[in-house]
Structure 1
Amino acid sequence: MLTNLTLQNFALAEQLSLDLASGFNVLTGETGAGKSLLLDALSVCLGERTDVAHVRFGTDKADVTASFDYKKNDPIDAWLSERELNDNIDPDGEHGEIHLRRVILNNGRSKAWINGRPSSLTELKEAGRLLVQLYSQHSQQQLLEPPYPKNWLDRYTGLQAQAHDVRQAYHHWQHLLKEQQSALAAAASRQTRMIELEAQLEEILPLAALNYADLEQEYDRLSHFESMMQDCAALLDGLDEQDNNVMQQLAVFSRRAESQASRSAQLSEVSERLINAQSELTDAVALLRQFVDQQNFDPERMTELNEHLEVFHRLARKYRVTPEELNGLSETWQTELDRLNLLDDPEALAAQVEQSHQQFLKLAQALDQARRAAAMPLAENLTRQVRPLALPEAYFEFGFETLDQPNADGLSHIQLYFTANKGIPAQALAKVASGGELSRIALVMQVMNAEKTEADVLVFDEVDVGISGGTAEIVGRLLRDLGKHVQILCITHQPQVAAQADQHLLVEKQQTKQASSIIYALEDEQRIVELARMSGGVEITETTLQHARHLLNLKHS
């Protein structure tokens, strides 16, 4: 869960540190006070886009840190372990912490850290997806997008992996089909191209077992054989053969240091390092002698290397590649030749395509059956949860329309049908649902999605827009019940929703020399005043205060 969010010079926040509680948290405040401040800061820590407007006026950078705790075996635990970032583990080994930090400079650039280690925005986003799920007030528009019912059905019923396999099988079939079509289209010029490829492969074949870099290094060594051997002889002479050589002098120095080592820790370290240097130098001299003993100048090998290198350079110029790329080029030619050779046996080529097609159909049919079996119970569940939100006659069902041509999504086009009126047949949701109905349906679907998410933190940004009264109270209870399993952070304008929260946070704007926003947790009496303000009216009266107390009491009923 999100335990702390610290903001420094971020937009309207000069210095702000906020501790978050588990369960259901709400954030309220006057319009323009800066309620989006908290979510903007959190989004920045989760790798979302930044803007220079996030840097407080008159400062050079904004600094935001989000701290989370997690349990052993949570998805984020494995993700951190893979990257050796799980340094903040409790002694019991059952809990850990992760700190996401983002610094935004006033030139528009930003830097990121995960547990104190510099990280990329890609890593920040990956970690963020495992920690937080964000639902905005515009999420209801997703319901109108054609893929949404299918994706929601797969997500809620655990069919995402099966759907992924179908997409992979479809793309594999299409890939083979395109290869077949490409090969058939090339059939007219196939023989000419095959002869060309075979000639090219034959020309490059002598180089197949040769490594250009190794040949070049060996040629360089033989080209400078005389000067190399002279330098090696000089090294051996100075290191180990002449009078008073380096090895002898180092041995004398080592003995002198060793005799004084017991008198100082620093002298002891000097002695150890000299002993190590002796060991290293002895190994170096042995390797040098071994190298010198193995060397033999071979004029014939020099000529052979020169011939190989000339072939490499000639063919590299001919085919407009570097010498190092020639072997890879031969692999490309061989692959093309193999594909063209398949046309000698068109049945084998067609069999590959048909086999992949049948595999796709097998997986797609299994997915279609699973979706159809899961659709009715899911629609009934959605109906049950939407009806209390002032839609007593709501009814949902999924419609499956078999596609003329299967695609990567399967065999059927899936729609969500809805009616809010008894005796009226359900129709496509996008055609018949009003804005208010869409907002309530979207909220329930998001809550149902949240029940299946791996994230421990769910953020709802004004998703209760368009509801009020008793409906808002039911939404609040829905979020409160969900908060028993995950941490919820919700921006709301509805007092009935805010009253159900475990922690109530208030954002206020202070008009000092430079405007700033503060956020703090409310005590019981403060909550009553804020709920009264949210309930409306120019002035807070005893009546509105009594209503606020009543809303709080409903939480415990």
Structure 2
Amino acid sequence: MLTSLRISSLGVIGASEIEPAPGLTAVTGETGAGKTMIVTGLGLLLGERATAGIVRRGADRAQVEGVFTGIGPVADRLGELGAETDDGELIVARRVSGGTGRSRTWLGGIPAPLGVVGQITGELATIHGQSEQVRLGTPERQREVLDAAGGAELAQQLQDYRAAFEERRRVIAELDERVRHARERAQERDMLAFGLDEISAVDPQPGEDARLAAQADRLQGLDDLRMLAESAGHALAGAADGDTDDPGALGLVGEARRQVRRMADTDTQAEPLAAQLDQLAVLVQEAAVDLAGYLADLDADPGQLEAITARRAALAALTRKYGADADEVLAWAAEAGERLADLSGDDERIEQLRARRADLDAALTARADRIHALRAEAAAALAEAAGAELAALAMPHARLMFDIERLPELGPHGGDQVRLLFSANPGTAPAPLARVASGGELSRVRLALEVVLAGGAQGHTFVFDEVDAGVGGQVALEIGRRLKRLAAHSQVIVVTHLAQVAAFADTHLVVAKSTDGQVTSSDVHRVEGADREAEIARLMAGTVSDTALRHARELLSQAARG
């Protein structure tokens, strides 16, 4: 239910707030006062498009804010979006720029896409204006009306049908893609298989190319390494022929060790020096041995560099095609293997898809048959109930019926084409509603259907704009009664110019305009008692005379009795 609607700089309304109450709220006012701006403002909260033209002249922007209660049907979605509610109230706001017409929307205090906001608020309120009246003449809307009357089983059948229909669409799309591109996929399969065979033959290892590059660099500098190692060995061990003039570090340390040991024999304070030289002799000896081993390894495999060069060439052939290094080549191979497995299963997958399509075709056909039967049942009941409403709306001979024709192919909503047929007079064959119904008749048909369908819409907000167009007198009274009946379990807001309709309202709001000679402004206020009698009199007679006031009181009394 809508509990508050604030409007700022929208059309002729500078700033106003209305508080529709439960039940029936009527909005009246002089022509041009801005009654429809209330409907426009609520439409902005329900996701309707906005233009810069709706912004009040001289204002930078227009803003609308609505407060809804009874948000249980959308509570889960609000929680998923992170929208905040306060004691079961949801605040929805929209701002429209006067320069560009662009708008921003907030849902429960958070910015939200307009489409999402419209989906959620559309569960809470519905606007029935002239555009909806025109839309009722379309087969699509007529099918929606019929489906809404079909109850829980039809709703579930349609939900299951749409899920299966969507899966069938995906299956057909994949099947068509696989069959249509079979040659390209075969070529891709051969290319991947060749690449994987080429990589498998070389069998690269992670990081191998980097390790081989380091080894090659080392081996290519082998002569320099050998010369340096020999020089270092000579410095440590001395001349290879034992020349006493070239004893090396090892000989010199040995000579120093012998001299200090002789010192220690005479002076114990030299004992630590002797121990240090003993350790030094061992270290020099070990270094000389390790250096000799290093030098021997340099000469261990003369063909190693050639093997490394050949291996690097094999790896380079792969990196030219499949990646910058061995790791990227291996990554390509992993992805290619997965893709090849998918491509290699094409024939099997095509058969699986064909089988699944056949299963879905059978399931959809069965569901479409059940949907057709449920629609036929709903059509009879809805036509009968709506006919009774039309009789009460001074159309005793009007007939509504649904023509449900089976389509040659199944569609997203089943296998039916639904048309609403109408006849206003006896002896006239029913024909498509949009072709034969006048504006006033179409208004009454729409109201009759809404009254019948709204029985389960507890707490929903219905907004009717000019539902009484083209009618008057007793028919207008009956429209008022029907709106009052609808308001027994839903909130109804009606914008009307007929006193007979406004008299049934629980809450009566008047849009009044004023001008300073340059700018026209409108405001909305609630009328009660004598003020309401005066407004009803104005609607009836155009002026507030004693006679008009007396008729207004009679009308209000009649409406109060129902």
Query: Structure 2 length normalisation: TM-score?
Result: 0.71
1:381 aligned to which of 385, 388, 405 = 385
Once residues 16 and 324 of structure 1 are traced to their aligned partners in structure 2, the CA distance between those partners, rounded to angstroms, is: 66
2:415 aligned to which of 408, 411, 415 = 411
Give the aligned residue type for 1:532: A
Q: What does residue 433 of structure 2 align with? A: 429
Aligned partners of 1:477 and 1:500 also within 8 Å: yes
Deviation at 1:186, TM superposition (A): 5.5
Q: What does residue 88 of structure 1 align with? A: 86
Deviation at 1:167, TM superposition (A): 3.1
Instruction: Map 1:59-458; keep pairs closer than 5 Å.
Output: 59-70=59-70, 74-89=72-87, 96-108=88-100, 109-158=102-151, 159-177=154-172, 179-180=174-175, 183-184=178-179, 192=187, 194-196=189-191, 198-199=193-194, 314-315=321-322, 334-342=341-349, 350-453=354-457, 456-458=460-462
Moved more, 33-42 or 496-505: 33-42
Deviation track 1:5-59 (CA, whole Å, cap 9, x = no partner) reads: 2233333222322222211001111111111122222222334333333333333
Once residues 45 and 376 of structure 2 are traced to their aligned partners in structure 1, the CA distance between those partners, rounded to angstroms, is: 40
Once residues 390 and 49 of structure 1 are traced to their aligned partners in structure 2, the CA distance between those partners, rounded to angstroms, is: 36
Deviation at 1:501, TM superposition (A): 0.4
Aligned partners of 1:70 and 1:97 also within 8 Å: yes
Moved more, 121-130 or 497-506: 121-130
Q: Does 1:25 align with 2:25?
A: yes
Structure 2 vs 1, CA of residues 439 and 356 (structure 1 numbering), >3 Å: closer, same or farther?
Answer: same
Deviation track 1:259-279 (CA, whole Å, cap 9, x = no partner) reads: xxxxxxxxxxxxxxxxxxxxx
Once residues 491 and 327 of structure 1 are traced to their aligned partners in structure 2, the CA distance between those partners, rounded to angstroms, is: 68
Aligned partners of 2:458 and 2:490 also within 8 Å: no
Q: What does residue 521 of structure 2 align with? A: 516
Aligned partners of 2:150 and 2:374 also within 8 Å: no
Once residues 480 and 191 of structure 2 are traced to their aligned partners in structure 1, the CA distance between those partners, rounded to angstroms, is: 74
Once residues 450 and 311 of structure 1 are traced to their aligned partners in structure 2, the CA distance between those partners, rounded to angstroms, is: 71
* DSSP 3-state at the match of 1:102: strand
* DSSP 3-state at the match of 1:373: helix
Once residues 370 and 498 of structure 2 are traced to their aligned partners in structure 1, the CA distance between those partners, rounded to angstroms, is: 45
Structure 2 vs 1, CA of residues 510 and 204 (structure 1 numbering), >3 Å: closer, same or farther?
Answer: farther
Q: What does residue 556 of structure 1 align with? A: 560
Aligned partners of 1:368 and 1:411 also within 8 Å: yes
Aligned partners of 1:398 and 1:415 also within 8 Å: yes
Aligned partners of 1:417 and 1:427 also within 8 Å: yes
Once residues 384 and 373 of structure 2 are traced to their aligned partners in structure 1, the CA distance between those partners, rounded to angstroms, is: 18
Instruction: Map 1:481-500; keep pairs closer than 5 Å.
Output: 481-500=485-504
Aligned partners of 2:186 and 2:343 also within 8 Å: no
Structure 2 vs 1, CA of residues 361 and 551 (structure 1 numbering), >3 Å: closer, same or farther?
Answer: same
1:547 aligned to which of 542, 548, 551 = 551
Q: Identity of paired residues, percent? A: 31
Query: Matched residue pairs, number?
Result: 452
Once residues 331 and 46 of structure 2 are traced to their aligned partners in structure 1, the CA distance between those partners, rounded to angstroms, is: 43
Deviation at 1:394, TM superposition (A): 1.6
Question: Which structure 1 residue ranges, 5 or more long, are not aligned?
Answer: 90-95, 220-303
Moved more, 195-204 or 492-501: 195-204
Moved more, 454-463 or 167-176: 167-176
Deviation at 1:147, TM superposition (A): 2.2
Once residues 349 and 124 of structure 1 are traced to their aligned partners in structure 2, the CA distance between those partners, rounded to angstroms, is: 38
Aligned partners of 2:13 and 2:34 also within 8 Å: no
* DSSP 3-state at the match of 2:388: helix
Instruction: Map 1:35-50; keep pairs closer than 5 Å.
Output: 35-50=35-50
Structure 2 vs 1, CA of residues 19 and 151 (structure 1 numbering), >3 Å: closer, same or farther?
Answer: closer
Query: Structure 1 length normalisation: TM-score?
Result: 0.71
Instruction: Provide the aligned C-alpha RMSD in A.
Output: 3.8
Deviation at 1:330, TM superposition (A): 6.5
Higher Rg of the two aligned structures: 2
Once residues 381 and 308 of structure 1 are traced to their aligned partners in structure 2, the CA distance between those partners, rounded to angstroms, is: 82
Structure 2 vs 1, CA of residues 418 and 315 (structure 1 numbering), >3 Å: closer, same or farther?
Answer: same
Aligned partners of 1:7 and 1:14 also within 8 Å: yes
Deviation at 1:374, TM superposition (A): 2.3
Once residues 332 and 512 of structure 2 are traced to their aligned partners in structure 1, the CA distance between those partners, rounded to angstroms, is: 65
Deviation at 1:490, TM superposition (A): 0.9
Aligned partners of 2:67 and 2:90 also within 8 Å: yes
Give the aligned residue type for 1:533: R
Deviation track 1:195-216 (CA, whole Å, cap 9, x = no partner) reads: 345446767999xxx99xxx9x
Aligned partners of 1:75 and 1:454 also within 8 Å: no
Moved more, 32-41 or 79-88: 79-88
